[in-house]
Amino acid sequence: MAKQISELKLGILGGGQLGRMLIQEAINYNLTTLVLDPDHDAPCKHLANYFECGSITDFDTVYKFGKKADVITIEIEKVNIEALEQLEKEGKLVFPQARVIRLIQDKGIQKQFFKENDIPTAPFQLANTKEDLLNSSFSFPYMLKQRKDGYDGKGVMRINNIADLDNAFDSPCLIEELVDFEKEIAVIVSRNSNGDVKTFPMVEMEFNAEANLVEFLISPSTYPDHVQERAESIAKKIAAALNITGLLAVEMFITKDGQILVNELAPRPHNSGHHTIEGNYVSQFDQHLRSVCNLPLGDTRAINNAVMLNVLGEKGHDGVAKYQGLEKIMAIDGVYVHLYGKKYTKPFRKMGHITIVDQNREAAIEKANFIKETLKVIS
């Protein structure tokens, strides 16, 4: 790249918390940041050098915005691919590449990609209508996922019996065998344009079943080395097969019989990497910048045990956010608070995250449990 990082204009499609944390890292490099988001009060608004309120799914808006930047990246996959493809044709650097985003936007194509590249994943079948579900050969229960636009637990439902089909999605979907898993894990892999690749250590996740969101994330994993190496090897294989430039979060299951199955991909900084800000030598946000600007990749090793928990809006609260118990949790050693600049809370909305770093893994988990009970986002 002819320009130094401090001379570049980085265009970010999406102005949510991921973009906000990316900008917080970009400031260290004097990088000029431009953000496009449909929300007038997006979390990135006051941090970006240039903020534009506009649709990230409209061709003309994305195309005109992209023309202002040297490098274009995303913090959400639901963007206008055609505009990015046109910008690429005109010589703009788009990372991850438009073809990668296109593949990942559609869970059906994503699963077919796994199959074609011998990536271990749960058996699946594609369905276009409710009628296809009635004719499916899959036995109950199974998972039903909308092929497009699902995120943070939305667009996913468990079908337990034929009666559940009455409320099933009537749109192109993916039927997936229910995986009897022991643990959900994730590996984040980074790759620059030179083809240099690094993985962050594998992390373990605990889910909030009601919200279908990650509740706790624990790093590093205590699984045996051979299991962690296999997960990292799968992540690297996917990054190479995609020929991606940027960051790729690979969410996987470890089954009760010891298999590792890939669940889905995110081609950007991800919830499963937030702990890296304090818990690793390089954060996922720094690594994403290094990847898309084709710079040397940083040291991904964990410095310490880290537990990350999402700060979610409380049930029954919808309005201007208030953080109850914040001072109490800040009095604890090793606790790092990240609030996302969202003015309004609603049930299960991601309002921030907390990372707890401790030399003792069990102590970190104990602190996380206390924080979960103490910190409440109310209105």
Pairwise CA distance, residues 37 & 56, whole Å: 6
Pinpoint the residues of the chain covered by CATH 3.40.50.20.
Answer: 5-95
Pinpoint the residues of the chain covered by CATH 3.30.470.20.
Answer: 181-378
- Read off the tokens for 219: 């790093």
Q: What angle do CA 89, 44, 96 make, to 5 degrees?
A: 30
State yes or no: 183 annotated in a binding site.
no
State yes or no: 77 annotated in a binding site.
no
Per-residue confidence of the chain (379 residues) as pLDDT tens digits? 468 888 999 999 999 999 999 999 999 999 999 999 999 999 999 999 999 999 999 999 999 999 999 999 999 999 999 999 999 999 999 999 999 999 999 999 999 999 999 999 999 999 988 888 888 888 899 999 999 987 666 789 999 998 998 888 888 999 999 999 999 999 999 999 999 999 999 999 987 777 666 778 999 999 999 999 999 999 999 999 999 999 999 999 999 999 999 999 999 999 999 999 999 999 999 999 999 999 999 999 999 999 999 999 999 999 999 999 999 999 999 999 999 999 999 999 999 999 999 999 999 999 999 999 999 999 9
Report which secondary-structure segment, H or E, holds 53.
strand 50-53
202 neighbors 272 (Cβ within 8 angstroms): no
State yes or no: 178 annotated in a binding site.
yes
- Read off the tokens for 234: 């799968």
Pairwise CA distance, residues 226 & 262, whole Å: 17
123-177 folds as: Dna Ligase; domain 1 (3.30.1490)
Strand partners of residue 324: 376
State yes or no: 107 annotated in a binding site.
yes
Report which secondary-structure segment, H or E, holds 84.
helix 81-89
85 neighbors 103 (Cβ within 8 angstroms): no
Pinpoint the residues of the chain covered by CATH 3.30.1490.20.
Answer: 123-177
CATH H-level, domain 181-378: superfamily: ATP-grasp fold, B domain (3.30.470.20)
3-state secondary structure of 100: helix
Pairwise CA distance, residues 352 & 357, whole Å: 17
5-95 folds as: Rossmann fold (3.40.50)
59 neighbors 45 (Cβ within 8 angstroms): no
351 neighbors 311 (Cβ within 8 angstroms): yes
Report which secondary-structure segment, H or E, holds 310.
strand 305-312
pTM over 0.85: yes
State yes or no: 237 annotated in a binding site.
no
Pairwise CA distance, residues 142 & 348, whole Å: 25
Handedness of CA 98, 25, 354, 249 (dihedral sign): positive
Residue located via tokens 């995986």:
179
Residues 6+ apart with CB under 8 A from 135: none
